[in-house]
Amino acid sequence: MIESYLNTSPPLASIVARAAAVGLGVRGAFHPSAEDAELLPAVAPVGTLVLLGFTGSVQWPEFAASAEAKDGEPDPLDRWSRRVVAELAVEFGARELYPSGKPHVPFQRLAARAESVHASPIGLLVHPEYGLWHAYRGALLFRERIELPPRHDTASPCSTCSGKPRLSACPVDAFGAGGFLLEACLSHITSVAGAECRERGCRARRACPVGTEYRYPVKQMRFHTEAFIRSIRK
Q: Is the same domain home to 118 and 167?
A: no
Read off the pLDDT band of 188 (50, 70, 90): very high
What integer pLDDT is reported at residue 101 of this predicted model?
83
CA neighbor of 194 nearest in space, from 216, 172, 175: 172
Last residue of a domain, one of 112, 142, 172: 142
Q: Is the same domain home to 25 and 90?
A: yes
Identify the domain containing residue 209 by its residue range: 157-233
CA–CA distances in Å: residue 65 to residues 32, 60, 134, 191, 230 = 35, 9, 19, 31, 22
Last residue of a domain, one of 142, 169, 197: 142
As a whole number of Å, the CA-based R_g of the chain is: 18
Residue 4 scores a pLDDT above 70: no
What integer pLDDT is reported at residue 67 of this predicted model?
98
Residue 230 scores a pLDDT above 80: yes
Whether residue 150 is contained in a domain is answered as no
When divided into structural domains, the chain yields a total of 2
CA neighbor of 121 nearest in space, from 154, 156, 171, 172: 156
Residue 7 φ/ψ, nearest 5 degrees: -115, 10
Q: Is the same domain home to 26 and 98?
A: yes
Q: Is the same domain home to 23 and 79?
A: yes
Region 111-138: mean pLDDT is 95
Q: Of 52-66, 107-121, 161-175, where does mean pLDDT reach its minimum?
A: 161-175
Region 115-139: mean pLDDT is 95
